[in-house]
Amino acid sequence: MVVGTMIGGGAFNLISDMGAQAGGLAIIIGWLITGIGMIALGLSFQNLTNVRPDLDGGIYSYAQAGFGDYMGFNSAWGYWFSALLGNVAYGTLLMTAVGHFLPMFKGGSNVPSIIVASLLLWSVFLLISRGVKNATIINMIVTVAKMIPLFLFLVVMVIAFNFDTFMTGFYGMTEHGPKEFDIHDVMVQVKSTMLVTVWVFLGIEGAVIFSSRAKRRSDVGKATIIGLISVLIIYMMITILSQGIIIQNQISELSNPSMAEVMGHVVGKWGAAVINIGLIISVMGAWLGWSLLAAEVPYLAAKDDIFPAWFGKDNDNHAPVNSMLMTSLIVQLFFFTLLFTDKAYNFAFSLASSAALLPYAFSAFYQLKFSRQRSRKQMLIGSVASVYTIWLIYAAGLEYLLLTMILYFPGIFVYRHVQKLHGRSITKIDKILFGIITSLALIGIYFIIKGQISGF
């Protein structure tokens, strides 16, 4: 589940998503920061799973336990929308890959693409409705299948790697040639990679979300760490080796999926076809995995009286049918918006990454808070994870902060409704947070109307 949800479509476009604006040095630094931060976050999930086995909701229940109902609700709400938008990005990238074989789907954001993606969306809904266990078995099979083209790609990259090409773009490049070393410019490049690294690591908490369904609690933490380190090594090899194949200032010109373009550059059209087939398999698996996650979070939150009780209904197959239905309807709505942007994939994955930052941050903060008087080692891990998530919010930038607040804004009314139903009062801190989120959301809407936010 961890590997299957992390290695989705993002891995197949990682070369251009990271390398378009960053040279080899910035990419290496970016992965070092990401590796340290994500391992600390993974260890936090592992520790909290062990010391708080009663918190079966994982990613949102940590925020609730440490910082109250409203932050717990926001973590569930943000994570849910992150998963929704991840599925939108997967749908777009999937149809782009199909467009390699059938030109009518080229680009992934036209009417034929939306129709087929919608049919697949509701097919996944029907599959999950037949039971979560069946869906996870299929996810495991797909995970194994999609690793084959990835390993083939890495073998070809190792053989074809050119050290001179890699060093030419090591500090980044302009249209006219290589850049000289400039630490400020390198860090700007590093900053540009951060939302991409979050996107490709979304799913690190996959085992934690399903911890209530695990036979052995100890397996949850082990799966998280083993899956994380394995995927980190694969990602580093994909991005670093590719800069020794395609010179850095030409990477931004690669079309989606960029891995197919690079493979085709080395071995010809058959290589691009193999990668596109791998992408189609991979996205279908990741789409299934993320649909499971997207349905599970509101379902668990409803069981904990944070979301409306309607989300907590399951069917005879023990599948969260209402939660899955609402999830699919919202994804369908987002699919229709793809007609209005030519940067659908990049916009969807960036916003999905941004929406996940708050749930990640408050999980890290709770690790720090819970460990403060219990374990210096765990407190250090929590400190590193907290600093990393704060850095991610800064690196994402104001634009995505405002867009994320627009997503969080409707949650205010849902939260007030749920609190009222359960006879719980709205605290003063809640009201202050309502005001902050509302203000930032209104500023974001204003900037969209003025055309000052990219993606629209």
Rounded average pLDDT per 10-residue block, the chain, 456 residues = 71 87 91 90 85 76 89 92 86 81 77 88 83 63 78 93 91 83 90 85 66 68 79 91 90 85 91 87 77 83 88 82 90 80 74 88 93 89 94 86 92 93 90 95 89 64
> Measured between alpha carbons, how far is 246 from 249 in angstroms, rounded to an integer?
8
User: What was the pLDDT predicted at 280?
Assistant: 84
Residue entry with tokens 């789907």 = 105
Kindly report the CATH number that applies to the domain delimited by 2-356: 1.20.1740.10
Could you tell me the pTM of the whole model? 0.82
So what's the pLDDT on residue 225? Answer: 78
| Residue 443: per-residue pLDDT | 94
**What single string gives the DSSP state of each residue in 407-443?**
HHTTHHHHHHHHHHHTTPPPPHHHHHHHHHHHHHHHH
Residue 124 near residue 289 (C-beta atoms within 8 A): no
Q: Residue 164: its pLDDT value, please? A: 92
Please name the residue ranges forming H helices in 68-201: 69-98, 111-129, 132-160, 163-168, 183-201
pLDDT at 173: 84
Q: How far apart are CA 390 and CA 61, in angstroms?
A: 20
| Beta-bridge partner residues of 178 | 173
pLDDT at 205: 66
